[in-house]
Structures are given as C-alpha cells and as structure tokens.
Amino acid sequence: MKAAYYARFGGAELLNVGELPEPPLAAGDVLIRVRAAGVNRLDWKIRQGAFKSTLPYAFPIIPGWDAAGEVAAVGEGVTGLSKGMRVMACTRQPVVQWGACAEYVAVPASSVAQTPQSLDDPQAAALPVAGLTAWQALVEFARVEAGQTVLVHGAAGGVGSLAVGIARQRGATVIGTASPDQADYVRALGADAVLDDAAPDLAAAILARAADGVDVVLDTVGGETLVLSYGVVKPGGTLVSLVEQPDLDQCAHKDLSARQLLVRPDGGQLAEVAALVASGAVPLPEIQTLPLERIAEAHRLSEAGQVRGKLVLTIS
Ligand SMILES: NC(=O)c1ccc[n+]([C@@H]2O[C@H](COP(=O)([O-])OP(=O)(O)OC[C@H]3O[C@@H](n4cnc5c(N)ncnc54)[C@H](OP(=O)(O)O)[C@@H]3O)[C@@H](O)[C@H]2O)c1
C-alpha cells in the first residue's frame, strides 16, 4: 500500500512516501481504506522523538492518528460495521507504528464511528484527535455546564476550535485566547470574547470578564500560559492541560480539579462529536487540505504554527 513513513526519529526531511505492506488485521479490528488523514501537532512531536520514552514504538512508523474513509474489511468478531461503510477513527494504538497516513489502517472496532452523511472525508478526518481531546477535557473531565465560564487557550488551533464550539454548545460563556489575526475566526466559532494571547495584561483582561475567575481552563500551550492559568481559575475550578502536568501545590492551594490529558480513542464519543458538528451545533474548524505526497510540508506548517483550524492530507 502507499504510505508515508519514517525509519528513525528526526526532522520532516525523514518523511518518505512509498510502498509498505498492509497492516495486520487482528480479531476485533476494522481495516479502513483511508481517504483523508488529519495532521496534529502530536504527529511531528512523535516524529521528533519527544514521546520515545513514554509511548512504545516500532519502525518504520506511519504517522497520523486521524483517519476517515470506508471499511475495507472487518476482523473476526466485529459486529455492526461492514465493508463499504463510511467511517472515521482516532487510530492511536498501544504501539506507535501503523498510523493513518496510508491507504489502509487497522484499528479496534471500539475506536471507530460511522461518518455522518453530511460530512465529507476531509471534514471527518479533522475531528478524531481534536474532537476527542476537547470532549474528554471539557465534557468527560470538567463536566462543563450552562452558566459556567470556560477559558480556551490556543482557541484558533485544531483542539481549540472544537473546544470553543463544544463549550458554547453546552451553554457556557467562552473566552478564547489567540493571536489578534485569529480573533474574527474564533468569534465565529462561538467565543464570547477573544483575547490576544501575547498581551502583557492577559490575566487582567480575563479577570475583567470573569471577576471571580473562570470555572474551567483548557490549556493547549503550557509554560507561561499554564502559570497564568492558576491565577485566573476560580477556587474549586477545573484546569486541564494537554501539554504539561499541572503543579500540585498550585492546584491544592486553590482546591482545583486538575490533570494533564492524553487523548484516547473512543468511537462512541467520536460519534457524539461528529453528530454535533454534522447538525451545525458545533462549528466545523477551518480545513486546509494537501495530498499525502506533501506530508513533509504539512508537518512543517504545523510546526511553524501556521495552521488555523485543521490541516488534512488526502489519500487518492
Ligand atoms: N495530550 C493530548 O492528548 C493532546 C491531544 C491533542 C493535542 N495536544 C497538544 O495540544 C496542543 C494544541 O494542539 P492542536 O492540534 O490544537 O495544535 P494547533 O492546531 O497547531 O494549534 C495550536 C494553537 O495554539 C496557539 N499557540 C499559542 N501559543 C503557542 C505556542 N507557544 N506554541 C504553539 N501554539 C501556540 C496557536 O494559535 P495562535 O496563532 O492564535 O497563537 C495555534 O493555533 C499541542 O501542543 C498538541 O501537542 C495534546
């Protein structure tokens, strides 16, 4: 099959597009003919070796954790999914090896959701990692509800775009942080306020909109952004970071529920996110597509922070 892959950790120049064997199809797995594969910051962080001590891996690695296409075959014991059905999945597996940037990927049936009719494959491929991350942070962990104020850092990114829409759909007031040229985009996603993420008085600007502090913070940036977040979340509030373990002393001091989250596949949750997007209740992020052959360029764009919404590779 055609696949993008790399045989050692390093820069984008190590990405090849060539022929590899199809992935093995185990009992309980679904083989997906991938038509579109989303690009995530995680993809190039993994390619650089950032997770080599925490995520088991085997070379050659096919990158990509977001797949959309149709069922090509099902393994023994799979029910409810059959050849030809349009599906989408977060393809994260216990070993980093067989990713979504290939003609075929095999994933457990429990990771798979049917693609709503109104979404095309690139749109569906924009949702698994970003949508599940936002859902697991805001719905599963923070249990965001109407009347709360949610602060989303990195609101113009893939996770941020969907987090703004999901928080808004649950009835929360949403404050997003982004660079100023993204403000109109983030407002169109449903944010009530968009603040310049580089402004020196960012904390004061947040507290001007939520005097007692916000109920929930989703930190997609880490570092100084996480440090600032301790000061703007209300006592007893919730803080989720996607990039760093929150400081236990800071959290204990304010009695926060806090955690670092690592997204996990969940076909049921993915179906819920996809249904909200398909119905228009949660806006679809802006999507830019490139053919698989341009994967190195796609990784470089993501590394440079030059992507608004989602970047998706198409696989013909
Ligand atoms: N733990 C997990 O399971 C998990 C899952 C998904 C993502 N993540 C992590 O969450 C973060 C966001 O992912 P994503 O896919 O949404 O990324 P993305 O689409 O590239 O978006 C990141 C956004 O953050 C903003 N940003 C502000 N300061 C930044 C900085 N110092 N470095 C990078 N971006 C900055 C940028 O917006 P402006 O241009 O407006 O500043 C950018 O749009 C990444 O670090 C990713 O690795 C973790």
Shared domain check, 98 and 9: yes
**Minimum CA distance residue for ligand 1 atom 28:** 221
* Cβ of 129 below 6 Å from ligand 1: yes
**Minimum CA distance residue for ligand 1 atom 10:** 220
Shared domain check, 254 and 139: yes
Note the pLDDT of residue 187: 98
| pLDDT of 97 over the 90 cut | yes
- The rounded Å distance from CA 25 to ligand 1 centre is 33
Residue 50: phi, psi to the nearest 5?
-65, -25
Note the pLDDT of residue 301: 97
Shared domain check, 91 and 44: yes
* Cβ of 219 below 6 Å from ligand 1: no
CA distances from 309 to 40, 107, 108, 150, 291 (A): 10, 25, 27, 19, 17
Shared domain check, 51 and 12: yes
Note the pLDDT of residue 204: 98
**CATH number of the domain where residue 239 is located:** 3.90.180.10
| pLDDT of 210 over the 90 cut | yes
| pLDDT of 188 over the 90 cut | yes
Note the pLDDT of residue 179: 96
Shared domain check, 232 and 137: yes
- The rounded Å distance from CA 80 to ligand 1 centre is 35
* Cβ of 220 below 6 Å from ligand 1: yes
Q: Is there a domain that residue 270 lies in?
A: no
Shared domain check, 150 and 104: no
- The rounded Å distance from CA 155 to ligand 1 centre is 9
Indicate which atom in ligand 1 lies nearest the CA of residue 159. Answer: 16
Note the pLDDT of residue 36: 99
Shared domain check, 248 and 151: yes
Number of domain units in the chain:
2
| pLDDT of 129 over the 90 cut | yes
- The rounded Å distance from CA 243 to ligand 1 centre is 9
Shared domain check, 290 and 241: no
The parent domain of residue 112 ranges over 2-126+285-314
Helices 128-135 and 158-169 pack at an angle, to 10 degrees, of 50
* Cβ of 134 below 6 Å from ligand 1: no
* Cβ of 263 below 6 Å from ligand 1: yes
Shared domain check, 218 and 150: yes
Task: Tell me the percentage of the chain whose pLDDT exceeds 90.
Answer: 99
Shared domain check, 255 and 163: yes
Indicate which atom in ligand 1 lies nearest the CA of residue 45. Answer: 47
Q: Is there a domain that residue 297 lies in?
A: yes
- Our mutation pick for probing the ligand 1 site, out of 41, 51, 241, counting the most ligand atoms within 8 A of Cβ, is 41
* Cβ of 161 below 6 Å from ligand 1: no
Q: Is there a domain that residue 278 lies in?
A: no
* Cβ of 179 below 6 Å from ligand 1: yes
What tens digit of pLDDT does each residue of 193-209 get? 999 999 999 999 999 99
Indicate which atom in ligand 1 lies nearest the CA of residue 178. Answer: 40
What tens digit of pLDDT does each residue of 9-52 get? 999 999 999 999 999 999 999 999 999 999 999 999 999 999 99
Shared domain check, 156 and 76: no
Q: Is there a domain that residue 163 lies in?
A: yes
What tens digit of pLDDT does each residue of 242-254 get? 999 999 999 999 9
Q: Is there a domain that residue 277 lies in?
A: no
**Minimum CA distance residue for ligand 1 atom 26:** 154
Query: What is the band of 306 on the pLDDT scale with cuts at 50, 70, 90?
Result: confident
| Predicted TM-score (pTM) of this structure | 0.97
Q: Is there a domain that residue 280 lies in?
A: no
Name the average pLDDT for the chain.
Answer: 97
